[in-house]
Amino acid sequence: MDKNLAGEVLRRFESAGLRPVAAKLIRLDDAVLTEHYSHIADRPFFPEILTFMKAGPVLALILQGDGAVAKVRDLLGPTDSRKAPKGTIRGDLGTDSMRNIAHASDSVENAELEVNRFFIPAEIFG
């Protein structure tokens, strides 16, 4: 959000046939981040993730479309923006492995968990 790229990222998702069905600015706290990143909470770089993710607002999105989870991951490119090819969102707009523009669910199952973590049913229009 600090680079004013939300519109460009959303434009790329929409251009690829994905439709936003929920969106909101949120402030993440330690509890939510520890749950969300529980798979890496024991890693030495986890405190840096907490600091970065709490530094400002986060735009939470739910995107729908055919193969949405795989399509979003393909559009974003690899997590480390320095290794992401040009033409991907991270390759064009990211700066490193931490400031990589966006998080993407890695499976339909995790997407469902994350939707429930960040949204209530009344906020979803799809």
Residues acting as catalytic residues: 103
Phi, psi values for residue 115, rounded to 5°: -55, -45
Integer CA distances (angstroms), 60 to 7, 43, 44, 45, 82, in order: 13, 24, 26, 23, 24
Say if CB 79 and CB 104 are below 8 A apart. Answer: no
CA distance linking residue 58 with residue 33, whole number of Å? 12
